Amino acid sequence: MGELVWRYFLLVGLGWLSGFGLWAEAPRETVGHGQARDLGTVLMAEDRGAMATFSPQAETIERMVGFALTNFTHHTSLRDAWLSLVRTQDIVGIKVHSAPGATSGTRSSVVAGLIQGLISAGVPAQQIIVWDRRLADLKRAGFMDLVARFGVQVLGSAEAGYDGTQFYEAPLLGQLVWGDHEFGQRGEGVGRKSFVSTLVSTKMTKIIVVTPLLNHNQTGVMGAIASLALGSVDNLHRFDLDPPRLATAVPELYALPSVGDKVVLNVMDALLCQYQGEERSLLHYTVPLNQLWLSRDPLALDTLALNELDRQRQAAEAPSSRPILDIYQNAEVLDLGISDVRRMKIERVTWGEVAGVRRTAQATDPVP
């Protein structure tokens, strides 16, 4: 943690200098295991037939996933597209957000499209894990159907247990609950660590994060950064009622090498945009967008999601949200991605009624 703290304050200092024009740095092109990453690059794929009266059209969406991925990676072959991200010997975890259920959470048809592509690229089904924090949420959201259909695993990170060697430490003591790694222990320092699930630290070698375009009262959106960070560790209650600590902890949890370094792709399930309601399905606060957004940059994706949620609230004259935006400022300081839309490269592709239409959009364009 000493190195992380040193890096944090160094980057804060550089950010301060950049504000006075004394320092300028181009986006880094590598991250984690030396993999290329195009910071600020986002692909938005749209198929107007993807949803029908708020119901996912599974076959359309599954084809849409492959179309989006080949366009995003610039490979004509779906197999080559996938093999530019993973290897056939990888254990690939698909992180979903299942607590809101099948309607407002990550849609299983999007995950099915990802699984089909991975299998077609040669990744064995038993090496694909669909996961979230709680297995009960995954079951309620219908993800167990993927076990019968493809032979993949569906697992909860909490049920998998926690790795005593991989943790995030902060001086804030937590109220440990049953299932936390240190629950029932006593002594100095107990409750100051959040341990990484063994599912994340040792079992999976690559991670794909798939989150819905859904508002969250604290983080603004349960996006790529918050979903992975909060789904990977225990002892989270110490951050719930402390917004400044949450704003610091979420990006630092993501920045743990055993967590964020494994991410090869982020997908925003923007088939629906629910701008109020959080964990509840409130369709009267929901707009169909019929889109999937892909990026290797989690911060760029989350920033665009926050902007779109805000735009939809304004259009509906709904109450504005007051999320903890420091999360995303801190994420940029930690070099997790780009939050300035003027520096993003956004490409939009349309499939279905207007097949194969492609255009490069301005970063400030509203989502259609």
Per-residue pLDDT of the chain (368 residues; tens, 9 = 90+): 444 444 444 443 433 333 333 223 334 343 443 344 678 999 999 999 999 989 999 999 999 999 999 999 999 999 999 999 999 999 999 999 999 999 999 999 999 999 999 999 999 999 999 999 999 999 999 999 999 999 999 999 999 999 999 999 987 767 788 788 878 788 777 888 999 999 999 999 999 999 999 999 889 999 999 999 999 999 988 887 788 899 999 999 999 999 999 999 999 999 999 998 888 888 889 999 999 999 999 999 999 999 999 999 999 988 887 777 899 999 999 999 999 999 999 999 997 644 444 444 433 344 43
Contact 146, 130 (CB under 8 A): yes
Return the closest-CA partner of residue 7 out of 330, 339, 338.
330
* Structure-block tokens of residue 84: 């530019």
State the Cα–Cα distance between residues 21 and 16, nearest whole angstrom: 9
How many other β-carbons are positioned within 10 Å of the β-carbon of residue 186? 7
- Burial tier of 30 (Cβ tally within 10 Å: 0-12, 13-18, 19+): exposed
Bridge partners for 287 per DSSP: 273
DSSP 24-73: --PPPSEETTTEE--TTEEEEEEETTSEETTEE-HHHHHHHHHHHHHHHH
DSSP state letter for 233: B
Rg (CA), the chain: 20
* Phi, psi angle pair for 271, to nearest 5°: -60, -40
- Burial tier of 314 (Cβ tally within 10 Å: 0-12, 13-18, 19+): exposed
From its phi and psi, is residue 199 left (phi > 0), alpha (psi between -120 and 50) or beta? alpha
State the Cα–Cα distance between residues 155 and 248, nearest whole angstrom: 28
Q: What is residue 1's three-state secondary structure?
A: coil
